[in-house]
Structure 1
């Protein structure tokens, strides 16, 4: 991937990590351009948010504020990690689950 491609897609890649609305905005604005850097980060952000929703629904069955704080902390760290990788212009997946998101959402941005 060229530096120009990364620079052109960097702003939308960073926007994609704004919870839910940023991901949708970046997805629709990238639909015409199909910038591969932005598409990569949209897939990562979408995966993080969907995984968060699944975990949050599971955790809601338990009345544990400690468990909720851990959930927020873990997903906050994943979002910050993804945002900083986008800001730095790197195509680095989030730890552990990032490669799965790339595989599951491979049709986004192609």
Structure 2
């Protein structure tokens, strides 16, 4: 069990969810949750892959970020804590 309070979990959940929806292509929501490697992967794929594929890679990363943001926001606080804070599940 993590040492975060219920309000801290809710704040992380809300922050990660909204950032996933609005800035998901750049992996900002991953950095908020402490998944630095996953955030760097999303950032590099969006920028470098976007240049190479004329934005297609950035579009794919945007969709992934949006889906993850929606998943974060639809989970209960307990489910969110268990999956993304306690078990450190970095993808979906």
With normalisation by structure 2, the TM-score equals: 0.49
Structure with the largest fraction of helix: 2
User: Which structure has the larger Rg over C-alpha atoms?
Assistant: 1
With normalisation by structure 1, the TM-score equals: 0.44
